[in-house]
A and B are shown apart, each in its own frame.
Chain A
Amino acid sequence: MDEKTYLNMDLLRFTTAGSVDDGKSTLIGRLLYDSKTLFEDQLENLERLSQQRGEELNLALLTDGLRAEREQGITIDVAYRYFATPVRKFIIADTPGHIQYTRNMVTGASTANLALILVDARNGVTEQTHRHIFIASLLQIPHFAICINKMDLVDYKQEVYDSIKTEIEDFISKLSIPDITFIPISALLGDNVVNASKNMDWYHGPTLLYHLEDVHIGSDENLVDCRFPVQYVIRPRSDKYHDYRGYAGKIASGIFKPGDSVIVLPSGFTTTIKTIESPQGEIDEAFPPMSVVMQLADDLDISRGDMLVRPHNTPFISQDIDCMVCWMNTKPLNPGTRYIIRHTTREIKGIIKEIQYKIDINTLHRISEVTSLALNEIGRITIRAAQPLFFDSYEHNRTTGSIILIDEATNETVGAGMIREPSPKVPEKKK
């Protein structure tokens, strides 16, 4: 691998959903093995473990990293796997299909560029398929790859593939999914995983690996709405840098340039960007997901939790948050309860005003008049924050549109929220 190759490698994060029965582990095992990421000692260890348990080679043992998981034969937690081809490096968030399904899939999906969803060709579209697709669309994963697996067990028939594809297309017409690709595969035999299948001449699309390497992720970032949450203030307090004040953070969205005028929220002061430094030194343009340090033309009182934005393109500013929330704790969510809201680099107290409805994730039906949300349930809620938040809708901005809720007593992360655009009459958009 020469210098040019590794410097031009892309990074794609994808999440896999499915249960053991769908052949998910087999598929991951095949991707790792065919890309030479599964090492010999790991494979030998896997063979030995499988034999001890009296099983054929069980690739699930590869991702079941914890003792409890191996003992119970179930996957409890999200496991992260890594492999690379000469084109791209991949991070797989492998989420379990059974226990804590929603909580884990939401976690894995929150950082993914692509959702890989497996459907067993013999069983067709199931409730679980609906759940996977719904959660991935709720988390706004930009790309979907639907793998119709076990094609070998349905004699590689095009009709089977076509009817599943049509059924899924009908279902997703109700959801917002920007990019979707269907691939008929056999993870076990390798058809259309890395190499094109010789058994399905009716299919002319890409293999899964080709698709993963090729899918265009360059436009996934929001390059329009400039948002820079201040993470940390750098003040050297040395003789050489006596007056230095650098505002460090990650560009959430938009493109910032030295010379740009910016508004500081919440104070509302306007100033100009003097310099932007990246880990490689001074730069002319900063864009997501860069970690940078900005110096500003004026000395202002700016601290962690403040946000730099551009004039004429400001976020919503409101204490009332309307969001979809996925509940992640055994202690249910009840209206009237106080939580800590973590949003970008801020922490604010808030109270749950109302549960508008919860969603039956198998049918997508809304259930109104609910009094609480239990573990792994998803619902739409209204929160009143102690101070105004500066936010965008999750649909437009995955960084400034997301929050987590933290239990004040236990400090546990109990909920994940995706903010919805406020209805016009409630908050005003600040000019």
Chain B
Amino acid sequence: MKRYYLNHLQKLEAESIYVIREVAAQFERPVLLFSGGKDSIVLGHLSKKAFAPAKIPYPLLHIDTGHNFPEVLSFRDAVVKYLDVRLLVGSVQNSIDTGRVKDETGKFATRNYLQSTTLLDAIHEHKFDAAIGGGRRDEEKARAKERFFSHRNDFGQWDPKNQRPELWDLYNGRKHHGEHFRVFPLSNWTELDIWQYILKENIQIPSIYFSHTRDCIIRDGVIYAYSEYLHLDEVEKKKLKSMTVRFRTVGDMTCTGAVRSDARTVEDIVQEVAAYRISERGNRADDKRSENSLEDRKKEGYF
């Protein structure tokens, strides 16, 4: 019976492509949320497969905090070219300049929380009715309760206690005017699945995922890359040192922690991820603000 058999990566790929096509079929103006991180790159890759030989029938939207890793930004433009899609950018700086949000100040300032407003403004402006995101249920416990098709009311809010039941592969994307959906085709993938797939499909990813040497500072046990966006006090400035690290996630430079690593190839990363004892978001300062941090941000429209 092994003949009619799909292994776990093939099953996940088939499921994700089915969900992606379902978005194109059920919605008028979908968009793919693109951070330049590995999950959104895999989503782009799956989108290309889902509609070949036609073009991907939706644009990419990058919410730019202005605090990006430079390596990721240049990579983003290469991916856009490879995928042959239109790129839209929602600028957090612009939201600050127009008074929509207020920049945080102080040592722990991050623009992570400001992104939700910029994102919702972009969704509103372009009249997007479905935003495809790379969220996975294994990332965080609030995400473990998330649907593939996740409803947002006309304020862009998530109501986790009142979600639509999701049965079989029958996805209900019906909505009223002004409401939208967040769709998560990678819901059932784990961090390891993503890396195995990147390896199998030979997908290009930004250099910061691989081991490299850069100036870092350790703050509350988390290793941060030094950049002009990170506010260091005098004591911390003296503690800056060159370290050999890589990043497990890609976010805003002010809240994304690095791990010490010698992994130089995707194979090395697969080995390393298989052996990890700390969860992927364990190094994300944005999730550490409180036990309900991600749930609260998601309710307000976060990714």
Complex alpha-carbon distance, A107 and B166, angstroms: 6
Q: Chain B interface: which size bin?
A: 35 or more
With known contacts A406-B172, A416-B165, A235–B7 Cβ distance under 8 A: no
Q: How far is the CA of A255 from the CA of B4 in the complex (A)?
A: 9
Contact A411-B142, Cβ < 8 Å, known A49-B291, A218-B1, A342-B170: no
Q: Which of A1-58 contact B (CB under 8 A)?
A: 1, 3, 6-11, 36, 39-42, 45, 49
A291 at the binding interface (Cβ < 8 Å):
yes
Contacts of A345 in B (CB 8 A): 25
Other-chain contact of A241, B25, B54, B270, B276 (Cβ < 8 Å) = B54
* Residues in A whose Cβ lies below 8 Å from that of B53: 234, 236, 238, 240-241, 244, 246
Contact B167 A68 (CB under 8 A): no
Contact B278–A40 (Cβ < 8 Å): yes
Instruction: Evaluate contact between B14 and A290: CB separation under 8 angstroms.
Output: yes
B125 interface residue per 8 A CB criterion: no
CB contact list, A207-261 vs B, under 8 A: 216, 218-219, 221, 223, 231-232, 234-238, 240-241, 244, 246, 248-250, 255
Interface of chain B residues 115 through 131 with chain A (CB within 8 A) = none
Within 8 A of A (CB), among B7-21: 7-15, 17-18, 21
Does A175 sit within 8 A of B, measured CB to CB? Answer: no
Residue contact B142 to A66, C-beta cutoff 8 Å:
yes
Q: Are A9 and B54 in contact (CB under 8 A)?
A: no
Contacts of B138 in A (CB 8 A): 81-82
Q: Are A279 and B25 in contact (CB under 8 A)?
A: no
B94 at the interface (CB under 8 A from A): no
Measured CB to CB, the closest approach of chain B to A109, in angstroms, equals 9
Q: How far is the CB of B174 from chain A (nearest CB, A)?
A: 4
Which of B128-173 touch A at CB < 8 Å?
A: 137-138, 140-145, 160-161, 163-170, 172
CA distance A413 to B279 in the complex (A): 34
If the complex has contacts A231-B25, A289-B14, are A82 and B145 also in contact, measured as CB distance less than 8 A?
Answer: no
From B271, which residue of chain A is reached at the shortest CB distance? A1
Does B274 touch A at the CB level, under 8 Å?
Answer: yes
Q: Is the CB of B4 within 8 A of A223?
A: yes
Q: Does residue A340 face the partner (Cβ distance < 8 Å to B)?
A: yes
Minimal beta-carbon separation of B150 from chain A (angstroms): 12
A381 within 8 A of partner (CB)? no
- Residue B81 CB within 8 A of the other chain: no
**Which residues of the other chain, A, contact B6 by a CB distance below 8 angstroms?**
11, 289-290
Question: Which residue in A76, A77, A328, A402 is a CB contact (below 8 Å) of B168?
Answer: A402
Given contacts A89-B193, A110-B167, contact A80 B187 (CB under 8 A): yes
Chain A residues whose C-beta falls within 8 Å of the C-beta of B160 in the assembled complex: 66, 68, 77
CA distance A255 to B52 in the complex (A): 23
A186 at the interface (CB under 8 A from B): no
Distance in angstroms between the alpha carbons of A406 and B141 in the assembled complex: 28
A-B contact count (CB 8 A): 190
Q: Could you say which of A3, A103, A235 has the most chain B C-beta atoms within 10 Å of its C-beta?
A: A3
Q: Please, how many angstroms separate the alpha-carbon atoms of A45 and B163 in the complex?
A: 27
Q: From residue B15, how far is it (CB to closest CB) to chain A in Å?
A: 7
A79 at the interface (CB under 8 A from B): yes
Contacts of B292 in A (CB 8 A): 67
- Is A265 engaged at the interface, CB distance under 8 Å to the other chain? no
Name A6's contact: one of B9, B24, B144, B276 (CB within 8 Å): B9
Given known A7-B7, A11-B11, A291-B14, contact A413–B164 (CB-CB < 8 A) = yes
- What is the distance, in angstroms, from A225's C-beta to the closest C-beta of chain B? 14
B167 pairs with A416, CB closer than 8 A: yes
Chain B 36-63 near chain A by CB (<8 Å), digits 1 or 0: 0000000000100111111100000000
Q: Is A287 an interface residue (CB 8 A)?
A: yes
Contact status A328-B279, CB under 8 Å? no
Chain A positions within 8 Å of B274 at CB level = 1
User: What separation, in Å, do the CA atoms of A131 and B10 have in the docked complex?
Assistant: 34
Contact check, B4 vs A287: say whether CB atoms are below 8 A apart: yes
Judge if B188 is at the interface, Cβ distance under 8 Å. Answer: yes
Residue in A3, A68, A81, A340 whose CB lies within 8 Å of B174: A340
Assess whether B2 is in contact with A218, with CB atoms less than 8 Å apart.
Answer: yes
Alpha-carbon separation in the docked complex, A62 to B141 (Å): 7
A411 in contact with B174 given A66-B160, A107-B165, A291-B21 (CB within 8 Å): yes
Q: Per-residue 0/1 for A383-407: is the Cβ within 8 Å of any B Cβ (1 yes, 0 no)?
A: 0000000000000001100111010
Interface pair B172/A65, CB less than 8 Å apart? no
Closest to A66 in B: B160
**Are B4 and A218 in contact, with the CB atoms below 8 A?**
yes
Q: What are the nearest 7 A-B pairs in CB distance?
A: A65-B141, A236-B54, A11-B8, A218-B1, A411-B174, A39-B279, A41-B282
A sample of 17 more A-B contacts (CB under 8 A), given A231-B25, A244-B54, A291-B14, is A41-B278, A63-B144, A65-B295, A77-B163, A80-B187, A82-B188, A89-B8, A103-B165, A107-B165, A218-B4, A221-B4, A236-B55, A241-B54, A244-B53, A246-B53, A287-B4, A413-B165
Listed A/B pairs (14) with beta-carbon separation below 8 Å: A1-B274, A11-B6, A62-B141, A65-B142, A77-B145, A77-B161, A80-B188, A89-B193, A219-B1, A231-B22, A232-B24, A236-B55, A240-B53, A402-B168
Q: Which of B's residues lie within 8 Å of A, judged by CB?
A: 1-2, 4-15, 17-18, 21-22, 24-25, 46, 49-55, 137-138, 140-145, 160-161, 163-170, 172, 174-176, 187-188, 190, 192-193, 196, 199-200, 270-271, 274, 276-279, 282, 291-292, 295-296
